[in-house]
Structure 1
């Protein structure tokens, strides 16, 4: 058996796509309730297999400069594929750091457990490091797969629901500015403007892929109903908020009258409150469902009854992987002055990360260098990757045995150095 791992050539792109489950109409996410879906089921029904025309369109999209493919060939047959997108993420200090976003990954069921996925991951890690990307990230379709490659959850998301009749705002005054219902063409122009402003203000937000909002449409999709769009402008007419929502039809009485907020971003408090005041009091609706929202949603604290906003699902969102440890740790900022010495015992895929490191941080800057000093604590690369954006608890990871302290208060110092407020969040995946 001859195994070859390499990028796909243009003539092989359709074969690469045919390896991917969603292209074949097969399940491409674990069968569990998802915060990312606003419907009553766990996920939308699988789509039919792609047509030759769709394959040709997708193949053209794949071969652009930011899409870095890898494929696994066994005896000359393409049996596995993956890719990295060159994107960027907002990190603590509101700095922008490049990363490789792992996407479109699969190995044929007939060729699993032969090290093919590991081989493709290793090739992508090596290429990302060569491009100067100190981080890799992904949205995990199955929670048990990617930890062995060094990935670990770094952001969380929730799905919440509330009954319209329970919504009472503490401040019922109408915020300054104006709301406007618009069509998909206007929304396609508004989203890039708003997201770029929001991304620069929220740790964890990502730069969009080319054409991120290009598929927004006014057409209905099955029983989902057409997407609707609303904009908010401040008193000077400047765009400062946008939301997408649906009013799906259902033959089941308990699911009727549901408004699903598919996306909402605002860059001013007035825009945020005005959009939610509209969406939680829409005529002829009974329930509002908002999938894929941050855990620290400010809306809860605007309500007279905070319990009206009920979290019905929660899961990890972005999984992060540090590829270049000193490069990543010095790329983010820190609010405190401290020194920590820590050990990474092993990192088989990025062995340059293993060893003992001295991290010295202050609001003015940071350094991360190798040292012969005795470490204050020992942790694995997965735990450090989870801590990196500042949204995970060092104490919880220590309680799980993922961090071992050799000095009293070392875990508390680690938490103080990395934690941020508000939590990191990414409003979309890739």
Structure 2
């Protein structure tokens, strides 16, 4: 028996897809209420298996896509496992961006599970990401018990909430100097990249869009879900600064009739944000507003006369993070609080260069505009732009022989990276062990960000 872990050749792409659940109409999510789904059922129905024509179209597009990096397991020439990474940039604390490998489309066929194939593919993808200068990997975990053993840990959250229209009164505010307009898909395709670019600059955890991100927007109906509708906000100068996609699906039951589902809403300022929600939560002939995959700390709650009226109906982790290069990743983000922390990482078998004791120092002042000198030059590709470096307190992270202030697991450090998780909770659970007084508090103050990190779309 000969096992190979390698990228599939173009003529092997059809067999590659056949190893993935979504191509075969198999379940892609564990049986739990999904916070990313706006319908009344726990999760949407499974797809039908892909046709040969669909597989051929996917192969043609993916082979040309320079951001798509597939890997597969072949046993005696047969493809039995498949995965891939997508090259993104993710906004980190301080407003800079970090190159990130987004792990996606992962599966091993049922007859070849429990043989270490997934671990081997993960190791190959990590090595490829490091070669491309991507010090961070992230994924959406379809099953919560799988990816922790590879060093991934939750880093962002999402919620699904509901609001009854009769309870949706807003506090008084200054009149909106801008305007709202319902537009078609063609206009929405133009507006979304503009709004997303503005939001991404300041939202920790937000991802760069891949080419064609909004090409699938359509005015056509989607079965009983009905067509997507698009609402645009313009400022007083006529520039687009907010947009929302929403549906008015048909329901066979009285309990779910009159529901408006907000599938996506982004605004680059509070005025546009309030204006979009003010229309959507008071739409004619509706009773309930449902918004899935929203930030956990939605500002709309604080605009309501009754904040309790916005009820969270589902909540889950969203992106899981995994640091591939600890010093490079930590020097690519900024820290609101200057300070010094010495920590030890042990037990990283997938990326052993992360193991050791490190001294992280965040200085007062303005960030440097070049690659930090503490990062080994061999780990930084020549084409990494200076704009990747955040503003705020510049940081260095170097190996040290000093006694550590604390010991932290790689998954815990990965959870803290974007600033949305609690250092105190992780320590209470045994993932962080302090060795000096005040070490956990210093860790918490240096890493935490407000608002919490959030990403508006998956991959």
TM-score, structure 2 length as denominator?
Answer: 0.93
Aligned residues of 1:134 and 1:324 also touching (Cα < 8 A): yes
Between 121-130 and 359-368, report the one with greater CA deviation. Answer: 359-368
Q: Equivalents in 1 of 2:364, 2:245: separation in Å? A: 38
* Equivalent position of 2:256 in the other structure: 255
- Mapping of 1:100-179 within 5 angstroms? 100-171=101-172, 174-179=175-180
Count residues with an aligned counterpart.
430
- Mapping of 1:332-347 within 5 angstroms? 332-347=333-348
* Equivalent position of 1:383 in the other structure: 412
- Change in CA separation of 1:193 and 1:119 when aligned onto 2, cut-off 3 Å: same
* Equivalent position of 1:81 in the other structure: 82
Q: Equivalents in 2 of 1:187, 1:76: separation in Å? A: 45
Q: Deviations over 1:71-95 (max 9, x none)?
A: 0011111000000111100000000
* Equivalent position of 1:62 in the other structure: 62
Corresponding residue SS for 2:209: coil
Is 1:23 aligned with 2:13? Answer: no
* Equivalent position of 2:432 in the other structure: 403
Q: Give the C-alpha shift of residue 362 in structure 1.
A: 2.1
Q: Deviations over 1:7-53 (max 9, x none)?
A: 01100111111111111111111111011000000111111111111
Q: Equivalents in 2 of 1:301, 1:340: separation in Å? A: 36
Is 1:428 aligned with 2:448? Answer: no
- Mapping of 1:19-418 within 5 angstroms? 19-63=19-63, 64-171=65-172, 174-364=175-365, 365-418=394-447
Across the aligned residues of Structure 1 and Structure 2, the Cα RMSD in angstroms comes to 0.8
Q: Equivalents in 2 of 1:319, 1:114: separation in Å? A: 24
Q: Equivalents in 1 of 2:69, 2:200: separation in Å? A: 24
Is 1:419 aligned with 2:420? Answer: no
Q: Equivalents in 1 of 2:329, 2:193: separation in Å? A: 27
Q: Equivalents in 1 of 2:444, 2:79: separation in Å? A: 45
Q: Equivalents in 2 of 1:318, 1:310: separation in Å? A: 23
Aligned residues of 1:37 and 1:291 also touching (Cα < 8 A): yes
Aligned residues of 1:335 and 1:362 also touching (Cα < 8 A): no
- Where does the alignment leave 5 or more consecutive residues of structure 2 unmatched? 366-393
Q: Equivalents in 1 of 2:24, 2:159: separation in Å? A: 29
Dislocated runs of 4+, deviation >3 Å:
none
* Equivalent position of 2:376 in the other structure: none
Corresponding residue SS for 1:271: helix
Aligned residues of 1:100 and 1:136 also touching (Cα < 8 A): yes
Q: Equivalents in 2 of 1:268, 1:67: separation in Å? A: 33
Corresponding residue SS for 1:278: helix
Corresponding residue SS for 1:416: helix
Corresponding residue SS for 1:385: helix
Q: Equivalents in 2 of 1:340, 1:78: separation in Å? A: 46
- Change in CA separation of 1:401 and 1:54 when aligned onto 2, cut-off 3 Å: same
Corresponding residue SS for 1:413: helix
Q: Give the C-alpha shift of residue 129 in structure 1.
A: 0.4
Q: Deviations over 1:106-162 (max 9, x none)?
A: 000100111100101100100110111010011111111111111111000000001
Corresponding residue SS for 2:218: coil
Q: Give the C-alpha shift of residue 219 in structure 1.
A: 1.0
- Where does the alignment leave 5 or more consecutive residues of structure 1 unmatched? none
TM-score, structure 1 length as denominator?
Answer: 0.99
Q: Equivalents in 2 of 1:54, 1:220: separation in Å? A: 21
Corresponding residue SS for 2:245: strand
